[in-house]
Amino acid sequence: MEFTRGIQKFFLWDIVKGMSATLRHMFKKPVTLQYPTERWEPPERFRGFLGLTRDFKTGEELCIGCLNCEKACPVDCITIVTAGKGREMYAKEFYIDYMRCMYCGLCTEACPTTPKSIVHTHQYETPGYFRDDLVYEKERLYDVWEKEVNYTGPRPWGKLFGLRNQEADTRPEPEAPAETAPAE
Amino acid sequence: MVTLLIILGKVLVGFGGLLLLAAYMTWMERRVFALVQVRVGPNRVGPSGLLQPIADGIKLMFKETIIPAQADKVIYVLAPAVTLIPALAAFAVVPFGDSVTVLGQKVDLVLADVNVGILYIFAMAGIGVYGIVLGSWASNSKYPLIGGLRSAAQLISYELSLGMSLLGVVMISGTLSLKGIVEGQAGMPYIVLQPLGFLLFVICMLAETNRAPFDLPEAESELTGGFHTEYSSMHFAVYSIAEYCSMITLSAVGATFFLGGWRGPLLPPVLWFLIKVLAFMFFFMWLRASTPRLRYDQLMGFGWKVLLPLSIVNVILTAAAVVFIG
Amino acid sequence: MVGVANVSRIEQQSTLHGTEELVINMGPQHPSTHGVLRVILKLDGETVNDLDCDIGYLHRGTEKIGENINYTMFIPYTDRLDYIAAPSNNLAWVTAVEKFFDWEIPMRAQYIRSMVGELSRIASHLLWLATHALDIGAMTVFLWCFREREMVLDLFETAFGGRLTVNAFRLGGLHEDVPDKFLQLTQEFADIFPSRVDDYETLLTNNRIWLQRTRDVGIISAEDAMDLGLTGPIIRGSGVKWDLRRAKPYAAYPYLDFVVPIGENGDIYDRYLVRIEELRQSIYIIQQCLEQLPGGPVSCKTPRTIKPPEGEIYHSIENPKGEFGFYIVSDGTTTPYRVRIRPPSFINLGGLKKLCVGQLVADVVAIIGSIDIVLGECDR
């Protein structure tokens, strides 16, 4: 045993083995995704840009201006100005500061409406040239959702919104998360 | 006149080819590394990234040359050239093909057939380290200083074994001229007669050209680039070209001494020579992808305690064989 | 007195010849300090005489932020501590806060927490192996490890929607159940991963250069390690069987079977072997989780606003890098009165001087790599 080990050591067996391992890998297919030309499909639950949703039939805004998302946001990137009272209440202005947003998803979890009125879309390429470009106002947040409606990959909210969906349809509707369950 | 033209042509082809090859070695290294590391490597500039070295060159040319305020400016600027020129010059004595007939004249495909070719190569390789030491010293910075010191120590300890490892071949062939050595390998390449010598040569060559696992002067992870930490733009490019040039030169020497130089069946001699050199280069890259880096003291220990005795043993064995067997 | 006389003579000689210590600033921008750690090295030639760590370049005041936001909001902030293994930090925070209450966390959530915790351990150890090997000069392992780490991050993304800053767990369980696709992909990953570990080992474990670089370098004895409060793979490499998953079980670890690997010599090589074995054990744990995964809800009933009773709590878990703990003082309101983080990197970094003095510069790099620090958590 000691002898064979000595022989192996003399003939650089460990180096040879390592080199054969690297040689084997030379013939493997590269795992690189060549980004601008090839695109990766975000998984169903991907947390991309936040968008405000509309009812797919009537086109009504779903947001009821309850300010839950504003309160839940750890970085205070959401600013809402509400108008109306009681059941008439809606968000008159809705700003999301994407320079601050950390895509944690707590705002979507806090949203009490069904379907959710603020969701993470699958968009991830939205840089801006100016800082002001990245503070999204209400119209642009709805635009984000318009783009998402045309998205063809799997979506968690697809069924709820009556959108064409590839895989997510089989999943049962998620229950309202415990934290936002009405306690009052 | 014709002779002069031919010499000029040879110089242009030889050195131009060497520099071009050195530039493309960067591309090859990146591609080989990418293959090993299951990724793609440079593939945007030109077909399969073939124009990448040229793009790199242009980019580096337009970069600002930063000279540290405390640096010794003259030496700082000259040092890269001091590394590059010997690396190029050493190639002059390496025959890269059989003689051809151009314009009615018989032309040997070697820039200069010096009868003490090997000594010339060692001399040039020895000068090469000055560029590194001067550059690192002139930078007047701490990381380059350590890199330069390492480089000097490394070169001294490995040059000896490098010379010793080639001595066996010289004893068998009985000549110091590289052309003569190639002619001596008409029957079989000397690697068959000198397997240990070949192994020692390859290891010493790695150390001599600062390649992994002996790339201590650069040692990116410790010394942030070693001797060329402070260098930028074309000065940096010259350093890296010089590194690849000396790699190619020593590969050519290895091919000439052990693999029969430009000799080979079917294909034209120049192509055979190129194939052998590229095989050496590929081996370098492959090895670099497969091994970690030695530590400085281990490197010195290895050089003095293992390589030197082994190469002396090789010389003695060869001498005995030459004397008794003939 | 002979010793003193000798020292003074050497000092005299060195002043005579004009030798002096070389002070090198390693970092904060240096390829091998793993972030923005600054190490001030005092060198005699290439030997380290003394060293000093300068930290704080990545200080973001996380503890103070924790005092100003509520308990749920702090979860994404814990992602940013040890960002290499974000779900582990989430786990530490949620389990610490849950200690204030007597909630019964459903078993399914516990198992998923353990599973994701182990996945993050794999992600962390892979990044450690990649950068450690790169520091010692083995470049190929770097990208091989990243290939697998990418798979783990994809798993996180499938389950929770985030790659690096996962925000995985919520107080009381999970936000929603993981998709079936996650379980299926995890199974696939668990099937192929052991062979990939073999690949890394082929390049490193028996390689003579790797052995030369790591064996008998950076040795720390078990006593010293305990005195310095080192935790995680470092103390296990020194032969102390201390793993919070066993010592103070949390999540589903009481029901899972695994071995706590320990080393003998306490050198870099032993730490390397311990971590490699942990990679295999993690896969073993994940496979058990997948087999035993119970059904049912993933979250218990939690109140709308989380108001822990007045009091204080310390809870720590076994993060990939060591003991990661939270000390929380609650004053009965929705925000903590004080949050203190016990970061393993910070405390393990305290052992750097002990490990490095007398070694060479190249070893310092290897030792920093073997401690496996992440500055996000060290500077907080």
Model confidence at C16, in pLDDT bands (50, 70, 90)? low
Which of C140, C210, C364 is the closest to B36 by Cβ? Answer: C140
pLDDT at C22: 83
Query: Cβ–Cβ of C140/B290 closer than 8 Å?
Result: yes
* A131-148 residue pLDDT tens: 888 888 888 888 887 777
pLDDT at A169: 40
List, in sequence order, every residue forming a beta bridge with A80; answer none if it has no partner. A94
Query: Cβ–Cβ of B220/C31 closer than 8 Å?
Result: yes
Q: Residue C308 has what DSSP assignment?
A: P
| Inter-residue contact C28 to C36 (CB < 8 Å) | yes
Q: In CATH, what class is A50-172?
A: alpha beta
Rounded to the nearest 10°, the torsion over CA B299, B304, B307, B312 is: 170
| Inter-residue contact B208 to B162 (CB < 8 Å) | yes
A175, pLDDT greater than 50: no
| Inter-residue contact B228 to B131 (CB < 8 Å) | no
Query: Where is A20: in which H helix or E strand?
Result: helix A13-26
Which of C160, C161, C203 is the closest to A18 by Cβ? Answer: C203
Contact status of B289 with chain A (Cβ, < 8 Å): yes
Best residue of C142, C163, C184 to probe chain A, by most A CBs closer than 10 Å: C163
Query: Cβ–Cβ of B221/C133 closer than 8 Å?
Result: no
Q: How many residues does chain C have?
A: 380
**Residues in chain B within 8 Å Cβ distance of A18:** 290-291
Query: Cβ–Cβ of B295/C363 closer than 8 Å?
Result: yes
| Inter-residue contact B321 to B197 (CB < 8 Å) | no
Task: Return the residue of A nearest to B37 by Cα.
Answer: A25
pTM score of the predicted model: 0.85
A121, pLDDT greater than 50: yes
Which of A21, A45, A179 is the closest to C72 by Cβ? Answer: A179
Q: Measured between CA atoms, how close is C177 to chain A, in angstroms?
A: 8
Instruction: Kindly tell me the number of DSSP H helices and DSSP E strands found in chain B.
Output: 12, 2
Contact status of B58 with chain C (Cβ, < 8 Å): no
* C236-247 residue pLDDT tens: 888 888 888 888
Contact status of A1 with chain B (Cβ, < 8 Å): no
**Residues in chain A within 8 Å Cβ distance of C154:** 43
pLDDT at A176: 46
Model confidence at A166, in pLDDT bands (50, 70, 90)? very low
Query: Cβ–Cβ of B294/C212 closer than 8 Å?
Result: yes
Between positions 276 and 315 of B, the ones with CB within 8 A of C are 288-298
pLDDT at A181: 41
Which of C73, C79, C202 is the closest to A17 by Cβ? Answer: C202
Q: Residue B307 has what DSSP assignment?
A: I
* C24-35 residue pLDDT tens: 888 788 877 777
Best residue of C132, C209, C211, C359 to probe chain B, by most B CBs closer than 10 Å: C209
Query: Whole-angstrom Cα distance, residue B148 to residue A34?
Result: 39
Average predicted confidence (pLDDT) for chain C: 85
**Residues in chain B within 8 Å Cβ distance of C199:** none
| Inter-residue contact C81 to C376 (CB < 8 Å) | yes
Contact status of A171 with chain C (Cβ, < 8 Å): yes
| Inter-residue contact A98 to A92 (CB < 8 Å) | no
Contact status of B142 with chain C (Cβ, < 8 Å): yes
Task: Return the residue of A nearest to C303 by Cα.
Answer: A179
**Residues in chain B within 8 Å Cβ distance of A32:** 38-40
| Inter-residue contact C320 to C124 (CB < 8 Å) | yes
Contact status of A46 with chain C (Cβ, < 8 Å): yes
Neighbours of chain C (3+ CB pairs under 8 A): A, B
A180, pLDDT greater than 50: no
CB-defined contacts A:B, below 8 A: 34
Model confidence at A154, in pLDDT bands (50, 70, 90)? low
Per the structure block, which two tokens stand in for A50?
């936040």
Q: Where are the beta strands (DSSP E) in chain C?
A: 22-26, 38-44, 47-54, 169-170, 173-174, 311-319, 322-330, 336-342
Contact status of A6 with chain C (Cβ, < 8 Å): no
Best residue of A102, A155, A169, A171 to probe chain C, by most C CBs closer than 10 Å: A102
**Residues in chain A within 8 Å Cβ distance of B36:** 22, 25-26
Q: Which regions in chain B score pLDDT beneath 70?
A: 102-104, 109, 217-222, 326
Query: Cβ–Cβ of A34/B40 closer than 8 Å?
Result: yes
pLDDT at A179: 46
Model confidence at A130, in pLDDT bands (50, 70, 90)? confident
Between positions 196 and 215 of B, the ones with CB within 8 A of C are 212-213, 215
**Distant-in-sequence, close-in-space partners of B109: CB < 8 Å, separation ≥ 6:** B10, B95, B96, B97, B98, B99, B100, B262, B269, B270
Mean pLDDT of the region A75-100: 84
Q: Are strands B105-109 and B97-102 parallel, antiparallel or unpaired?
A: antiparallel
Per the structure block, which two tokens stand in for B111?
């820039």
Query: Whole-angstrom Cα distance, residue C86 to residue C78?
Result: 7
A164, pLDDT greater than 70: no
Vertex A82: Cα angle to A79 and A87 (nearest 5): 135
In chain C, what are the domain boundaries? 54-379
Mean pLDDT of the region C305-329: 88
CA distances from C155 to A108, B38, C177, C185, C312 (A): 21, 21, 14, 7, 35
Neighbours of chain B (3+ CB pairs under 8 A): A, C
Long-range contacts of C159-163 (CB under 8 A, 24+ apart): C159/A45, C159/C116, C160/A45, C160/C87, C161/A43, C161/A45, C161/A46, C161/A47, C161/A105, C161/A120, C162/A47, C162/A103, C162/A104, C162/A105, C162/C79, C162/C86
Contact status of A4 with chain B (Cβ, < 8 Å): no
Instruction: Kindly tell me the number of DSSP H helices and DSSP E strands found in chain C.
Output: 16, 8
pLDDT at A184: 39
Q: Measured between CA atoms, how close is C162 to chain A, in angstroms?
A: 6
Count other C-beta atoms under 10 Å from residue C219's C-beta.
17
Query: Cβ–Cβ of A45/C147 closer than 8 Å?
Result: no
* C73-129 residue pLDDT tens: 888 898 888 888 889 999 999 999 888 888 888 888 889 989 999 999 999 999 999
Which range is least confidently modeled, A10-14, A39-43, C235-239? Answer: A10-14
Q: Measured between CA atoms, how close is A21 to chain B, in angstroms?
A: 8
* C192-237 residue pLDDT tens: 888 888 888 888 888 888 888 888 888 888 888 888 888 888 888 8
A168, pLDDT greater than 50: no
Query: Cβ–Cβ of C144/B291 closer than 8 Å?
Result: no
Mean pLDDT of the region A137-162: 68
| Inter-residue contact C95 to C251 (CB < 8 Å) | yes
Query: Cβ–Cβ of A45/C202 closer than 8 Å?
Result: no
CA distances from B23 to A26, B39, C69 (A): 23, 21, 57
From the list C145, C158, C147, the residue with the least C-alpha distance to C115 is C158
Tell me the percentage of chain C whose pLDDT exceeds 90.
Answer: 4
Query: Cβ–Cβ of C209/B36 closer than 8 Å?
Result: no
Best residue of A9, A12, A22 to probe chain B, by most B CBs closer than 10 Å: A22
| Inter-residue contact A117 to A61 (CB < 8 Å) | yes
Query: Whole-angstrom Cα distance, residue B252 to residue B261?
Result: 8
Contact status of A159 with chain C (Cβ, < 8 Å): no
Tell me the percentage of chain A whose pLDDT exceeds 90.
Answer: 0
**Residues in chain C within 8 Å Cβ distance of A46:** 157, 161
Query: Cβ–Cβ of A109/C301 closer than 8 Å?
Result: no
pLDDT at C141: 87
Query: Cβ–Cβ of A22/B34 closer than 8 Å?
Result: no
pLDDT at A29: 82
Domain C54-379, second-level architecture: Orthogonal Bundle (1.10)
Which of A22, A31, A34 is the closest to B290 by Cβ? Answer: A22
Contact status of A104 with chain C (Cβ, < 8 Å): yes
**Residues in chain C within 8 Å Cβ distance of B213:** 137, 209
Predicted ipTM? Answer: 0.82
Contact status of A76 with chain C (Cβ, < 8 Å): no
**Residues in chain C within 8 Å Cβ distance of A175:** 176
In chain B, what are the domain boundaries? 55-324
Best residue of C19, C51, C139 to probe chain B, by most B CBs closer than 10 Å: C139
Query: Cβ–Cβ of B289/A32 closer than 8 Å?
Result: no
